[in-house]
Structure 1
Amino acid sequence: MRPKEADFTRIEPDAVRRVLLVDDSRLQLKIVSAMLSRWGFEVLQAESGPEALELCATHSPDLVLSDWMMPGMDGLEFCRHFRDLQKDSYGYFILLTSKSEKGDVAQGLDAGADDFLTKPVNAHELRARINAGARVVSMERQLSEKNRLVSEAFAELKTIHEAIDNDLKQARKIQESLVPDRMRVIGTSRVSLLLQPCGHVGGDLVGMFTPGFDRLGLYSIDVSGHGITSAMVTARVAGYMSSTFPDQNIALEKRFDQYYAMREPAETGRMLNQRLAADPGVEEYLTMAYVAGDMKTGAMRLVQAGHPPPLLLRADGTVEFLGDGGLPIGLVDEVSYDQVEFTMARGDRLLLYSDGFTEAVMKDGQMLEEEGLARIFRQSVEMGGTGPELLEDMYWRLTTQMENAETLGDDVSAALLEFDSVPEAPANP
């Protein structure tokens, strides 16, 4: 049964509205143009390739019907130039030709044609070809729109990322300000600090304070997790262990409204745990090694709250790891801590460090662990390193031996006390 005429003249959605008709035959232009106009299309006409390209520059067509055989610029050359034009949307290209050999079809496809229509043009076939082209153009425009939306979303995300990145860079500066002094000489001893976050900001914190000339508080802290939340906790703890405002430092207590005395480290750990555990909504906890020392006698008192054991390198080269562990701070409400007492002598070095050192994965796939840390500590000392340079040398040795030296898996930090190792300044004459 012959299909109804309406089936052949049904106009697809708005994907194709403007059609460019190119033919050197005025009669052919008139016939095909009449069909297209009757179907509701806006029709542009050109009798040559150059004339058609001029029209395309000002009136971008949705679909092109071009004769293959034309004097001067033929349909293939015109198609190539058409594809080279900068257009906002895709233009469907149909070649009108009497050619039907496979080689001719391949040549047309290579030139950029989408479809072919044999002459003389059959109205039903033309309508079907246009509908096929309309579906392609419609899908292309939908894809272009989606790509546009994706590009806009990407640009917005990039702007947001840049803003976050700038905020994190500022946050890093703020966190670095929590450790204003990376080295301090106290009498004939020297304290040095190292802080290397694995990201913009981190959860490690090292610090020192000196409430009196002969007294020192030295600590290494590692907050659980990484990133902004951990960094916020370190900022809060830095206030609790402030070197600038002794009245806010929970490791100190004021005596007779005249001077500050150092609390026992075990009591300091208990008070810090009490404050962190009482904070509503804070799930982070921290590990800490804190030493209160007498710089005149070398008497040291240590509390180790879940932190890696401090490394004591004696002047004669022997190594001791101090402490028996203990619960992290902020993990449970009520906790008490044991205290370790030891004495340092001239030339001894005490290293507080985070597990970013000992748990770093080496090139052999194994973690550095305590034995490896003692090894690189000795090597840096034997190279004559002192103060911050010694810590930097240790960090360099660590990263050069790591499996992935470009990306730290964890924050790396350390606090170094070199006891009675700095020559005393000569008295003024």
Structure 2
Amino acid sequence: MHGTDLAPVVDNDNQVLIVDDMRLNRQILGQMIQQMGLDVVYAENGLEAVAQYKESKPSLVLMDINMPEMDGIQAAREVKSLAKDSFIPIIFVTGAEGQEVIRQAIDAGGDDFMQRPFPFELLEGKVVALRRISQLYGQVKKLNHIRAREEEVAEQLLSGAVESANAALDQIRIHKQPAETFSGDVQLSAFRPNGELNVLLGDFTGHGLTSTIGALPLSETFRAMTAKGYDAEEIIAQINRKLQKLLPTGMFLATGIVTLSTDGSAKIWNGGLPDIMVFSQGELIHRVVSKHPPLGIVPNVKDLVFEHTTVSSVDNILLLSDGVLEAEDMQGEQFGEERLLKSAEKQKLDGGSSLVDLILSDLSAFVGEQTQKDDISIIDVPGRVTAENFDKAIASSAHVVDEPTAFDSWNWSLELQGKSLSRINPVAQALSRLQEDEGGGDHWHSVFSILTELYVNSLDHGVLKLESSLKSSPEGFAEYFSERERRLESLSTGAVSLYMQHTRLTKGGRLKVRVEDSGDGFDFKHWLNKEPSSAPGGFSGRGIALVSELCESIEYENEGAVVEVVYSYSVKD
């Protein structure tokens, strides 16, 4: 765009307002201004000056100080207020003397000061200089407007690319309030193939355009790995590797991630965010403090500590950025956690209001007219979230009777030994191979559930020798996973192998899965006859009983240390 395309900001660029209560002074100044080729309008006092400015919108004002009705100091203040973000130069032209007069004139918004008498050339020089500044100001203002509009469009495109694919927006509540056009906060949600929901809140260093450079790779990694069934631990590790290579020195991502099962069992990780809190009808019942540095600082993150808990249908998991707690009022005092908890407590009396609405209402009243200094983000995850059509997809894809096509079959296997059991997820790798070779489809939800249950059962009970009875209570549920992490950490022996054979059928496919562990087996007959549990911490429909319902066959060998299932699915033409 050329500079000539940028119109001045004022309506009458050649018009000058002269304000003086003495007729002779007005005439002399008017003649000088007209000699410069400019137009003139007059006012005899401050009140008339304000009215004339409203009517004429001049580009420059010559203002006397001592006048009846309203003096020049007050009139200058009102003109500057009316001009808002437009630059209307005011030159005080007066016979008054003294430093105090000059100080008052400048404080009122005056841009220059001239004491009578003065030569025409001096006035001309000041008028030309201030008009040039005013026109440059107008050009900058228009350029800023164009830039702001372009930033708005870019932000809409970026937000669409990053957040438009978020899942369960009809069930979870996300509030995003950027301090500038671009937000450094990222809110993501996606379902795993087994119906579990992953929710991530990320807060990049700073705010504005520069803080968004990691948003796209962050969202792409999160969604791709979640869709393939990777655990949150692996997602965090991969995001960290990408950001550590991408982000400049001094920039990082404070992150919190929640994995919520349909039965209310949840695992939560916090790396640099304010405490992630669990509320029950407004009462704080659990918090997850940050035990890890933000992502993108070190090349590899190790020893990730997740907290396992269970939530009921009336509970809420709250993630928030530090912009909420650090929001300031006009006196510079921060909103803080104490006020946030008091806001949440109001839900006890007003059960119909959401936590987000209650917090935002009190936050808005607290900050008043104070300028927002940091991005504000809140995510409210209810205790129960279900994937649309997930149960239907599982139920409709089992027990397919079909004939094989011309011989079209492939095998895939993986064996994990010792420490590799604690760091490699074979289920995600197996599902990724199936999706890459056989395409997408809802039937993979069932396959993921089958693979997850068979592998986890072999690892937990065969190798780690954990007792499922621990998960019968919320406290035992947390203890079970704490003990699981301890045993995985110290694991030096043991093995689990996973074998798959896929055969294409005329309208679908048949998958044979065999899982074998190095343990002594377990009482599989008890679990085959047990109904799937819907209680928090139970099998949540992913137990052996459900695997039996989904598959054409399930057979155990070696006292339960070996299991083989056959699953068939159909696809639409």
- The answer to whether TM tops 0.5 is yes
Counterpart in 2 of 1:374? 341
Q: Give, in whole Å, the separation in 2 of the partners of 1:159 and 1:348.
A: 50
Counterpart in 1 of 2:372? 408
Residues 376 and 363 from structure 1, CA distance in 2 versus in 1: closer, same or farther, beyond 3 angstroms? farther
Q: Give, in whole Å, the separation in 2 of the partners of 1:364 and 1:381.
A: 30
Deviations 1:161-209 (A, max 9, x none): 11111122223323442333788378xxx31111111222211111211
Percent identical residues: 17
- CA apart distance, 1:139: 2.7
Q: For 1:197-216, list aligned pairs within 5 A.
A: 197-212=178-193, 214-216=195-197
Counterpart in 1 of 2:140? 157
Q: For 1:247-326, list aligned pairs within 5 A.
A: 249-252=224-227, 260-263=228-231, 265-279=232-246, 281=248, 283-295=250-262, 297-314=263-280, 317-326=283-292
Contact 2:269 2:305 in 1 (8 A): yes
Q: For 1:92-241, list aligned pairs within 5 A.
A: 136-177=119-160, 178-180=162-164, 184=168, 190-212=171-193, 214-241=195-222
Q: Give, in whole Å, the separation in 2 of the partners of 1:415 and 1:207.
A: 10
Of structures 1 and 2, the one with the larger relative CO (CA 8 A, separation 6+) is 1
How many residues are treated as equivalent by the alignment?
A: 292
Residue number among 363, 378, 382 corresponding to 1:418 in the alignment: 382
Residue number among 379, 384, 391 corresponding to 2:356 in the alignment: 391
Contact 1:352 1:416 in 2 (8 A): yes
Q: Give, in whole Å, the separation in 2 of the partners of 1:179 and 1:77.
A: 66
Q: For 1:13-24, list aligned pairs within 5 A.
A: none
Amino acid at match of 1:370: E
Q: Give, in whole Å, the separation in 2 of the partners of 1:280 and 1:397.
A: 35
Deviations 1:46-97 (A, max 9, x none): xxxxxxxxxxxxxxxxxxxxxxxxxxxxxx9898656445615299xxxxxx
Q: Give, in whole Å, the separation in 2 of the partners of 1:293 and 1:152.
A: 58
Q: Say whether 1:87 aligns with 2:51.
A: no
Q: Give, in whole Å, the separation in 2 of the partners of 1:317 and 1:77.
A: 74
Counterpart in 2 of 1:358? 325
Contact 2:282 2:346 in 1 (8 A): no
Rg larger in structure: 1
- CA apart distance, 1:280: 6.3
Q: Give, in whole Å, the separation in 1 of the partners of 2:174 and 2:378.
A: 6
CA RMSD of aligned residues (A): 3.7
Deviations 1:269-296 (A, max 9, x none): 221111111126464211000011211x
Q: SS at the partner of 1:184?
A: coil
Residues 228 and 319 from structure 1, CA distance in 2 versus in 1: closer, same or farther, beyond 3 angstroms? same
Q: SS at the partner of 1:266?
A: helix
Q: SS at the partner of 2:143?
A: helix
Counterpart in 2 of 1:16? none
Q: SS at the partner of 1:289?
A: strand
Contact 1:346 1:420 in 2 (8 A): yes
Q: SS at the partner of 1:417?
A: strand
Q: SS at the partner of 1:226?
A: coil
Q: Give, in whole Å, the separation in 1 of the partners of 2:290 and 2:127.
A: 65
Contact 2:173 2:379 in 1 (8 A): yes
Amino acid at match of 2:269: V
Amino acid at match of 1:395: L
Q: Give, in whole Å, the separation in 2 of the partners of 1:140 and 1:185.
A: 64
Residues 79 and 364 from structure 1, CA distance in 2 versus in 1: closer, same or farther, beyond 3 angstroms? closer
Q: Give, in whole Å, the separation in 2 of the partners of 1:147 and 1:283.
A: 42
Amino acid at match of 1:211: R
Q: Give, in whole Å, the separation in 1 of the partners of 2:24 and 2:325.
A: 70
Deviations 1:389-420 (A, max 9, x none): 54233212211122x44522211111111113
Q: Give, in whole Å, the separation in 2 of the partners of 1:349 and 1:369.
A: 20
Contact 2:269 2:288 in 1 (8 A): no
Q: SS at the partner of 2:278?
A: strand
Contact 1:215 1:294 in 2 (8 A): yes
- CA apart distance, 1:373: 1.8
Residues 268 and 376 from structure 1, CA distance in 2 versus in 1: closer, same or farther, beyond 3 angstroms? same
Q: Give, in whole Å, the separation in 2 of the partners of 1:371 and 1:79.
A: 64
Q: Give, in whole Å, the separation in 1 of the partners of 2:128 and 2:320.
A: 54
Amino acid at match of 1:334: N
- Bigger shift: 217-226 or 356-365? 356-365
Q: Say whether 1:335 aligns with 2:319.
A: no
Q: Give, in whole Å, the separation in 1 of the partners of 2:119 and 2:283.
A: 79
Q: Give, in whole Å, the separation in 1 of the partners of 2:355 and 2:169.
A: 15
Contact 1:307 1:325 in 2 (8 A): no
Q: SS at the partner of 2:163?
A: coil
Residues 144 and 82 from structure 1, CA distance in 2 versus in 1: closer, same or farther, beyond 3 angstroms? closer
Contact 2:222 2:235 in 1 (8 A): no
Contact 1:251 1:268 in 2 (8 A): yes
> Gapped runs of 5+ residues in structure 1?
1-75, 92-111, 115-132, 243-248, 253-259
Q: SS at the partner of 2:324?
A: helix
- CA apart distance, 1:230: 0.8
Residues 214 and 148 from structure 1, CA distance in 2 versus in 1: closer, same or farther, beyond 3 angstroms? same
